[in-house]
Each structure stands twice: as C-alpha cells, then as structure tokens.
Amino acid sequence: MSSVTTPTTTMVTRSSRSSLRWAVSDVLTMARRNLLAIVRIPTALVFTIIQPIMFVLLFRYVFGGVIKVPDGAYVNFLIPGILVQTTIFGAVGTAIGLAEDLQRGLIERFRALPMARMAVLAGRTVSDLVRNVVVLIVITVVGIAVGFRPHGGVPDYIAGCLIMLLFAYCVSWGFAFIGLAAPNSETAQAISFPVIFPITFASAIFVPVSSMPGWLQPFAYHQPVSEVADAVRALMLGTPVGDSVWTSIVWSLGAIAVLGPLATARYRRAA
Amino acid sequence: MSEFAVEALNIVRTFKDGEVRALDDVTLRVPQGEVFGLLGPNGSGKTTMVRILSTILTPTSGVALVNGIDVVKHPNRVRRSIGLAGQYATVDENLTGFENLRMIGSLNHLEKSVVVPRSRELLEQFGLSDAASRTTKTYSGGMRRRLDLAAALVAKPPLLFLDEPTTGLDPQSRQDLWAIIEGLVEEGTTVLLTTQYLEEADRLAKQLVVLDHGKIIAEGTSQELKTQLGNTVLVLTFTTSADAERGAALIRDVAAKPANVDGTVVELTVAKGPAAAAEAIRRLDVEKITIAGLILREPSLDDVFLDLTGHKAEDVTSDAGAPGVGRAAQKVGP
C-alpha cells in the first residue's frame, strides 16, 4: 500500500444546485429530524399534545367555574389563551433539544459538514413552527368539543393563528439561546421554566388582567404575551382588536431582532 | 492534489484567554494514503488538533492545510473533503441507522438518488443491514461506532479523521473496527487517527506523533520510536517490594536510564539484553536477593511512552473509557 500516493476512492459527485437551494434543503433536513424526534420520544409527544389538552380540561372544568370574565363564556376566553400558552411552552423543547444535541456531540458533527451554518438553528425553529401548527389544530378541535365557539370568522381565526405562530417563532430563538448556553438538557429545562411561568401565568392567557392585584397589573397588562393573547382572542371571538395586533407584531419582530443574533452568536461559540 | 493530506504548521491553540495552551507549536505532515497516528493521553491536545483540522475550531496561530486547502480561509471546501468520526462525533439516537446516514448524506449535499443507495451499501458493508430500520437508541456501543464511521464515509471523503474510534469498546468490536479501517486504507483513504491505546497505534499507524501537554514529544514510525528507546527491556520480579527497591539500586548502572520500579517489578531499558541480565543476576546473587522472575523483551509503545513522559499512558487515562468524561473536560475550554 505504500506505493499508493493518491486516493483511489473518488468522492461522490455533488450536485450543482445553488447554495441557497442547499441551504433550504439543509433547514428542511434538520427540521425533519427534529420532528421525527418528537414523534419517537414518548415524553416529547406527551409534552407537545397531551399536556395542552390537559390544560384545556383543567381550566375548562376544574378552575373555570370560579374564573369570571367580563363578557361571554369562560371557555371562549380560555381557548385562545391556551393556544398562546401552548406555543410558548413548546419552545422549551427547542432549548432541551439543542442542549441535548450539544451534549451528545451532534452539533460538533454538523459543524464539520459542508451544510449551511444557520441550518441547525433555523431547522430547530422551523420544526417548532410545524409542531405549533399541529398543536393549534388539535387544540382548536378539542376546544370546540368542550364548547369553544369562535365567532370571528375563519379569516380572522387564521389571522389570529398567524400572529400567534409569528410570536412563537420569534420566542423560539430565545429558547435556542438558552439551550446553547446551558451545560446540559436538564439545566436548559430548569432555566426555561422560571422564564415561561411569569410570562404565561402573569398574563391575559388564563384570567383577565383586571382580576389581578394592583401591583401586578402593569406588568401583566403590558408584557408581550398579554398583547398576543388579547390580539388572538379578539380576532377569534370577533371583538374589537384595538392596537393589540400591531403591538403583537412589533413585539415579535423586536424579539427576533434581539434573540436571533444572540442565539446565532452563541451557536458560533458553542460546541 | 498536494503531497500531504494534512499539513499543520506551528499550530497553537489556547483556551481561557491564553491560560491553557492545548496545542503548543505543533507541526504535522500526514502523507496521502496511510494511517497517521496521533498518540497521547487525555488532555494532550489530540482532540483539539482534530477539531482544528476538521474546521470545528480555529487555531490561535499557525496554518493548517487539509488536502491543500486552508482550514481557516476555506472551511466549507475543507468540509467537502473530510469525514469525522470518533468518540465525540455521534449519531442521532432518535433516528434509525438508515435515517442517520441519509441525514448526513443530504447535509453533505449529495443528491437523494446517490444518498439512498450509498447508505444501504454502507449499512451492508458494516453489518448493520438488519438494524437499519431500528432507532440507534437500541444499538450496542460497537454498532454505534460502526454507524458513526459509516456516517463519516457517506460522501466518500479522501481524508478521514478518527478521534479515538475505539475508546470504550469491547475487544471484539475494537478488532472489527480495526479491520474496517485497514480496509479503507487499502482502498486509498488517508486516515488521521487519534488514540490513547498504544496497541492501536502500533497496529494501524505507519507514522506516529506522540503528544503530551500540547507538545510533540516524539515522532517517527512505531519501529523508530521503539528503537529510539533502546534495544531490550529487562523485567525482573522480586518477592517483596523492599527487595525490588534494593535490587533496583544494585543494578542501576546496568541500564542507561533510571529503572522503573512498580511494586515488586523492576524494569530496565538495556542496550545488550543477555549481558545485562547476566550481570544483574550475578549482583543480586551476591547480595542474596531472590529473583522471582526474569524476562527480556522488545520494548512496546508503552515503554516508549513511559520513557518519554515519565508516566504511563494507561494510568493517566484510566477514566477516559467512560462516556462523557472526555467530553465534559473538553467543554470547559471554548
């Protein structure tokens, strides 16, 4: 073998597709892998689908009786809120997944491949988006089964979903940052919950902000999750949206403008 | 293509603002078409070197060319000509064996029409066809390493980095991997292998570099390294460790280098084996020290390592087989 000076193996021919098309392909490859993981890890599936259904049932039948909303039935107030809460809780999966990939050395392998650099994070956030679409459909169906009657019409219902998906997508980047910064997946999970609890529970998701103590109201009223919940609820129920739609979009774009570069910078340093 | 698959010149890599020098002026030249061994204990800088050459890390200073391409200037071109496998580069547990290869293939920008048959072919070649549609969570350690290696080979790279490919494997799986690596080299692939197993380096690598604390402390063929040490190792066993200490003191000047005393065993590197043995026996007999055993043997790479570093390779790395241990240590750096 010492006489062999050049490799006799020939490299597999790579296609001449443009780099942009390959970048899209890389993102989809990564997104597909993440979605397969959700389907195959029982706890991930429970976390994604079963837990939100439990929340619907819990608030509809256990707590719902004592929660008074200004107008209409509590179930109509609740379901849009649960939808928003679910998409935010789901983003924790991004933090856990990325921390695991880092821990297991998969990110290291990806970094030695000629794939698009941004595909790891973009694939993660895109798979979150797909998962959120599925969850929106499931919760809508379950919601209608327990008495949810959105009167806003289909176009507005979809508009509400889109506002929610946009916000959730932007939030995902923040959790991607947490996942990359955490030393392991357990820590990623532990860091995530103290972040999502105040923003989801001290918000207009489950109860009207007006029912909260005075010191909490300014935070609960102005924080982005409440704005999004208000916008989504108004669109779905056909009530006046005020400026909540625009505020939600501004918050979302602002979040991604900050969190996107933060996560990307962290990704460059990680692994 | 350049004469060398890898040319790394004066590579320095520091961590923690220069406090830790993981690589301290290391120069490597890996010829095409053979296995080049990077030998050293944990923390010696082997993995850092592989991470630099595979574009995962950038060097603090120095120039590295892989297949003639600068790793810092054109990392993506380098990535198209390398494969990386080993204890850190892993497989996705939630995907099947086939899905893992298909994923790596498409991330290597191979067309689907190429990836699918290539993945099947590799699974067949590495004895994983039966397990192809099972998630890799269910795989044994040996199967995972084979799949990991297969993943590194999907794009048929001319240069393969194997970072401690057999660490933590059972002897049979290790033998299997060695046979696969030898087969790849026969087909013309260049392999840069890091290992802490001297036996592995001795068996696979044509040329070796020994790293310790980020510096090259020896290089050459394994035969050269052994010769450099001396011709023969004289191993004497005594009945008590007190006897071993006394005996070692008595026969100290028989060897050119200090004796290594380990419990009741004394090892000496000697130029002329039989003469040294006779002299040792005579002296010990005069002092009425009982010799329980005497062996003359060719030096192993273990002896070389001990001689070069003053510590045994295996002792330093006794915990390196545990998964995650090395990785955790690695993570501290960057």
Cross-chain CB nearest to B79 (options A12, A108, A114): A114
Q: Show residues of chain A in contact with B155, CB under 8 Å.
A: 11-12, 14
Cβ–Cβ < 8 Å for B178, B156: no
Per residue of chain A (271 residues), what is the pLDDT tens digit?
333 333 444 555 566 678 889 999 999 999 999 999 888 888 877 878 888 899 999 988 888 888 888 778 889 989 999 999 998 888 888 899 999 999 888 888 899 999 998 899 999 999 999 999 999 999 999 999 999 998 888 999 999 999 999 999 999 999 999 999 998 989 999 999 898 888 888 888 888 888 889 899 889 888 999 999 999 999 999 888 888 999 999 999 999 999 999 999 998 886 5
Strands B190-195 and B35-39: parallel
d(CA A104, CA A90): 22
Q: What pLDDT is stored for residue A255 in this prediction? A: 93
Cross-chain CB nearest to A12 (options B88, B114, B327): B114
Best-predicted range by mean pLDDT (B10-14, B139-143, B223-227, B268-272): B10-14
B305–chain A nearest CA distance, Å: 26
Q: Show residues of chain B in contact with A33, CB under 8 Å.
A: 92, 94-95, 99, 103
Phi-psi region of A239 (alpha: psi -120 to 50; beta: other; left: phi over 0): beta
How does DSSP assign B105-134, residue by residue? Answer: HHHTT--HHHHHHHHHHHHHHTT-GGGTTS
ipTM score:
0.83
Q: Show residues of chain A in contact with B4, CB under 8 Å.
A: none
List Cα–Cα distances, A268 to A98, A124, A226, A264, in angstroms.
13, 16, 33, 6
Nearest alpha carbon to residue A89 among A123, A118, A53, A119: A53
For chain A, strand residue ranges (E) read: none
Q: What pLDDT is stored for residue A159 in this prediction? A: 94
Nearest alpha carbon to residue A93 among A167, A36, A175: A175
B14 DSSP assignment: E
Task: Note whether B34 contacts A2, CB cutoff 8 Å.
Answer: yes
Q: What pLDDT is stored for residue A15 in this prediction? A: 60
SS3 call for A63: helix
Q: Is A22 on the interface with B (CB under 8 A)?
A: yes
Q: Tell me which of B24 and A19 has the higher pLDDT.
A: B24
Q: Is A112 on the interface with B (CB under 8 A)?
A: yes
- Which two three-digit tokens encode residue B214? 């980020």
Helix or strand (DSSP H, E) at B36:
strand B35-39
Q: Show residues of chain B in contact with A4, CB under 8 Å.
A: 32-33, 188
User: Domain boundaries in chain A?
Assistant: 19-269
Task: Note whether B34 contacts A40, CB cutoff 8 Å.
Answer: no
d(CA B229, CA A191): 54
Q: What pLDDT is stored for residue A13 in this prediction? A: 58
- Which two three-digit tokens encode residue A176? 């991607």
Task: Note whether A114 contacts B93, CB cutoff 8 Å.
Answer: no
Q: What pLDDT is stored for residue B177 in this prediction? A: 87
Nearest alpha carbon to residue B296 among B314, B315, B279: B279
| Residues 6+ positions from B232 with CB-CB distance below 8 Å | B269, B270, B271, B272, B273, B276, B296, B297, B298, B299
Task: Note whether A33 contacts B93, CB cutoff 8 Å.
Answer: no
Q: Is the pLDDT of residue B334 over 80?
A: no
SS (H, E, C) B219-273: EEEHHHHHHHHCCEEEEEEECCHHHHHHHHHHCHHHCCCCCEEECCEEEEEECCH
Residues paired with residue B7 on neighbouring β-strands, in sequence order = B29, B65
What backbone torsions phi and psi does residue A246 show, to the nearest 5 degrees?
A: -70, -40
Q: Show residues of chain B in contact with A12, CB under 8 Å.
A: 108, 110, 114, 118, 154-156
Domains of chain B in start order, with CATH, are 4-226 (3.40.50.300), 231-298 (3.30.70)
d(CA B174, CA B154): 21
Q: What pLDDT is stored for residue B89 in this prediction? A: 55
Q: Is the pLDDT of residue B322 over 50?
A: no
Q: Show residues of chain A in contact with B31, CB under 8 Å.
A: 5
Nearest alpha carbon to residue A39 among A119, A103, A110, A131: A131
Q: What pLDDT is stored for residue A29 in this prediction? A: 96
Print burial letters for B87-114: b (CB count within 10 Å at least 16), e (below 16).
bbbbbbbbbbbbbbbbbbbbbbbbeeeb
d(CA B169, CA B85): 14
Cross-chain CB nearest to A114 (options B56, B109, B187): B109
Cβ–Cβ < 8 Å for B146, B153: no
The residue in chain B having the minimum alpha-carbon distance to the alpha carbon of residue A12 is: B155
d(CA B197, CA B305): 11
Residues paired with residue B24 on neighbouring β-strands, in sequence order = B12
A268–chain B nearest CA distance, Å: 10
Q: Is A186 on the interface with B (CB under 8 A)?
A: no
d(CA A112, CA B154): 13
Q: Is A129 on the interface with B (CB under 8 A)?
A: no
Cβ–Cβ < 8 Å for A79, A137: no
Cross-chain CB nearest to A113 (options B33, B79, B158): B79
Task: Note whether B104 contacts A104, CB cutoff 8 Å.
Answer: no
| Helix, strand, coil % in chain A, rounded to nearest 5 | 75, 0, 25
Helix or strand (DSSP H, E) at A162:
helix A154-181
Q: Tell me which of B119 and B280 has the higher pLDDT.
A: B119
B236–chain A nearest CA distance, Å: 39
pTM of the model: 0.79
Q: From the candidates A113, A117, A180, which should be mutated to test the interface with B, based on the most B CB atoms within 10 A?
A: A113
SS3 call for A14: coil
SS3 call for B95: coil
B299–chain A nearest CA distance, Å: 25
Q: What pLDDT is stored for residue B327 in this prediction? A: 33
How many C-beta atoms surround the C-beta of residue A113 within 10 A? 26
Q: What pLDDT is stored for residue B331 in this prediction? A: 33
Best-predicted range by mean pLDDT (A93-97, A207-211, B159-163, B224-228): B159-163
A119–chain B nearest CA distance, Å: 10
Phi-psi region of B221 (alpha: psi -120 to 50; beta: other; left: phi over 0): beta
Task: Note whether B33 contacts A4, CB cutoff 8 Å.
Answer: yes
Q: Is A14 on the interface with B (CB under 8 A)?
A: yes
Nearest alpha carbon to residue A232 among A148, A143, A167: A167
A249–chain B nearest CA distance, Å: 34
Task: Note whether B109 contacts A14, CB cutoff 8 Å.
Answer: yes
Cβ–Cβ < 8 Å for A2, A8: no
Task: Note whether B92 contacts A4, CB cutoff 8 Å.
Answer: no
- Which two three-digit tokens encode residue B5? 């698959």
The residue in chain A having the minimum alpha-carbon distance to the alpha carbon of residue B108 is: A114
- HSE-CB of A213 using CA atoms within 13 angstroms: 2
